Amino acid sequence: MDELIARQGNLSKMAIAMGDDGLARYTLRAGESRLDLNARLGQTLRLSHSGAIACTHCGRATRKSFGQGHCYPCFKRLAQCDTCIVKPETCHYFAGTCREPEWGERHCFQPHVVYLANSSGLKVGITRHTQLPTRWLDQGAIQALPILEVETRQQSGFVEMLFKGQVADRTNWRAMLKGEVAEIDLCAERDRLLATLADGLADLRARFGENTIRTLDAEPLAIDYPILEAPTKVVSHNFDKTPSVGGTLMGLKGQYLMFNTGVINLRKFTGYEISVE
């Protein structure tokens, strides 16, 4: 299907779906073009940046990309670009200063999931239900387990802060790409952490309401990525420095393309106009 469409357009983050076999399936999205990347493994692929960048929100041309694909005015104006999205415990809706209160009500005042994942080791994270399993696939997690459900994004931030005293909240992307990641018994880690943090969770329940932070009884998910050969040394490409990036496609993990010439994080280049060969 994709052979008939001109492969040029502005990059979106790759669409990653989870197959029944547990294998992540990648689709490159550039404008209207779609390319099945799993089918391109082992073949040559080249992405060339024209120099143009369009804001993913308003579409206007921007010389630089802010906050993963926004023009500067959108970056300063949109609630989704505010620092409280990354640090939900700093939510300032109740101070009356939310950049877009209606957007905040739709996105932040709804149940969030606190999860454990294994991307480059054990980590904690938060997301909305609708973002699962996308969030884990975007991070290159090989295992994931939802552990708690909370009422709002801000509450998920407080819970995450509590967990950050015990586990990482970031991925070491080099280790994630090299694939030197040992399996973890996520259920055992969940039980250990919930016991260790019982007092802190009780304090949060006392503050927000007894039923606001609920323990989930989920099964861990295992995820496989299409990888012929993981890099032993990670060299990263950047369209700002090298407009044309490509080689033999060796693997796909998280939002990274792995070429025999190096890797590129396509998420970073959302909105960049590229052509694909």
CB closer to Zn ion out of 58 and 222: 58
Minimum CB separation of residue 174 from Zn ion in Å reads: 32
Q: Of the listed pieces 67-75, 92-100, 115-123, 217-225, which binds Zn ion according to CB under 5 A?
A: 67-75
CB 114, CB 154: distance < 8 Å: no
Minimum CB separation of residue 211 from Zn ion in Å reads: 40
Angstrom distance (rounded) from CA 46 to CA 259:
10
Per DSSP, helices labelled H in 43-94 are 72-77, 83-86
Minimum CB separation of residue 67 from Zn ion in Å reads: 10
Q: Of the listed pieces 70-78, 85-93, 163-171, 213-221, which binds Zn ion according to CB under 5 A?
A: 70-78
Q: Which one of residues 17, 39, 52, 58 is an interface residue with Zn ion (CB under 5 A)?
A: 58
Which pair of tokens denotes residue 123?
A: 């980590």
> Interaction with Zn ion in 71-100: which residues (CB under 5 A)?
71, 74
Residue 176 touching Zn ion (CB under 5 A): no
CB closer to Zn ion out of 103 and 202: 103
Q: Where are the beta strands (DSSP E) in the chain?
A: 8-10, 15-18, 24-30, 33-36, 44-53, 112-118, 122-128, 143-150, 213-215, 221-222, 244-253, 256-259, 262-265, 272-276
**What residues form DSSP beta bridges with 191?**
none
Mask of contacts with Zn ion, 18-57, x by CB under 5 A? Answer: -------------------------------------x-x
Angstrom distance (rounded) from CA 199 to CA 277:
56
Minimum CB separation of residue 53 from Zn ion in Å reads: 11
Which pair of tokens denotes residue 6?
A: 């001109």
Minimum CB separation of residue 78 from Zn ion in Å reads: 8
CB closer to Zn ion out of 74 and 114: 74
Burial annotation 167-181 (CB, 10 A radius, 16+ → b, else e): eeeebebeebbbbeb
Minimum CB separation of residue 72 from Zn ion in Å reads: 8
CB closer to Zn ion out of 53 and 249: 53
CB 220, CB 21: distance < 8 Å: no
> Interaction with Zn ion in 217-246: which residues (CB under 5 A)?
none
Minimum CB separation of residue 71 from Zn ion in Å reads: 4
Angstrom distance (rounded) from CA 216 to CA 237:
40
Helices H, strands E: what count in the chain?
A: 8, 14
CB 91, CB 161: distance < 8 Å: no
CB closer to Zn ion out of 58 and 216: 58
CB closer to Zn ion out of 53 and 141: 53
> Site residues (CB under 5 A) for Zn ion?
55, 57-58, 71, 74
